[in-house]
Structure 1
């Protein structure tokens, strides 16, 4: 990793100055497969505000010098929307005992340097600092293997997530709605959760 790259944990109102950069980065990264997100800047600002307003949330930022090149969000599940909490409640989990990792976005030019690993380590460390969690989770969009926009060299991150201790739970699913690049309107997307026991 370049000596100019640093990873920092941020929470609260100090993050507000970074909202424009974070919104643009999310739109840029989620434009690619498997998300194919036709980005909405106003939505992104509103989404990020949730993390800023929650005192127990965290956004892990990756800097190259003063430039933000990556970000990773996390928040106790109890502060998430009903659509995120519902599958856990229906399967007997207590939302108060689950820490939810929102997403990680990283500029293409900085991938393969171990930053993704640091994102998981820092979010898990934040969960440990708060305490009281039995599980850490995140969710991933489900796309068919024959999707027309699936790149020929696309490699799912399943092995990377397994190595971090996360495992797919098909019984834990929800839907998120956004506008795909090829669509005229927003459509629901199936999301499956991955879970790790927090030791």
Structure 2
């Protein structure tokens, strides 16, 4: 592993050359707790088309040489799914004023190098360059404390997110369907949003 990491931003059609490798990395990382996601290439490549088709999207990619070791996605909330938009509509937010930082994935061998901080900085910078956003948000899955697959050394990222200026908003909740590693079918997962208000 090199520590000569290059971080780059891509939007819209510029994402296309990286779709297959991004799908691979997402499947790899999302198998870990708390997501425990049993993903497929077909679904991931279809999911990533949302970002490819939206010129205002951004994917921040971390490269070690030519190898993709991390990626972080974001998009204006108005282009997201109904499941993501609904809590904001119900709580009186204007979707065009909300920028959604969807997911970050990072190979475990590259954690602790500050890449996660860069992912937030780059996505927030992209939102500021687009202009017009009053809120930046992301959501995370809620898992029970006694979940059988919860690692003994697992530490939630709440303190990291707080340090980045994000606050948990329990009133902003949704559910999302996916198949856990131990399941035969998709089941709904509770998701809670965190917000950062732009000055």
| TM-score scaled by length of structure 1 | 0.98
Q: Which residue is 2:64 aligned to?
A: 64
Equivalent residue, structure 1, for 2:21: 21
| 1:83 alignment counterpart | 83
CA–CA distance in structure 2, aligned partners of residues 63 and 160 of structure 1? 23
The answer to whether 1:109 aligns with 2:109 is yes
Please tell me whether the aligned partners of residues 13 and 55 of structure 2 are also in contact (alpha carbons under 8 angstroms): no
Other structure's SS at 1:122 match:
helix
Q: 1:4 to 1:175 in 2, by over 3 A?
A: same
Q: Which runs of 4+ in 1 moved over 6 A?
A: none
In the aligned structure 2, how far is the partner of 1:112 from the partner of 1:187? 32
Identify the residue that residue 143 of structure 2 maps to in structure 1.
143
Q: Distance in 2 between matches of 1:38 and 1:3?
A: 30
Q: 2:73 aligns to what SS in structure 1?
A: strand
Deviations 1:111-166 (A, max 9, x none): 00000000000000000000000000000000000000000000000000000000
Aligned position for 2:12 = 12
Uncovered stretches (5+) of structure 1, i.e. residues with no partner: none
Q: Is the 8 A contact 2:5 2:65 kept in 1?
A: yes
Corresponding residue pairs, total? 199
- In structure 2, C-alpha distance between the alignment counterparts of 1:84 and 1:140, rounded to whole Å: 12
Deviations 1:148-194 (A, max 9, x none): 00000000000000000001100000011000000110000000000
Cα offset for 1:4? 2.2
| 1:129 matched to 2:129 | yes
Please tell me the root mean square deviation across aligned C-alpha atoms, in Å. 1.1
Residue deviations 1:44-102 (CA, integer Å, cap 9, x gap):
00110100100100000000011100000000001111111110111111111000001
Query: Per-residue deviation at 1:12?
Result: 1.8
What residue ranges of structure 2 are gaps of 5+ in the alignment?
none
SS for the counterpart of 2:25 is helix
Structure 2 length normalisation: TM-score? 0.98
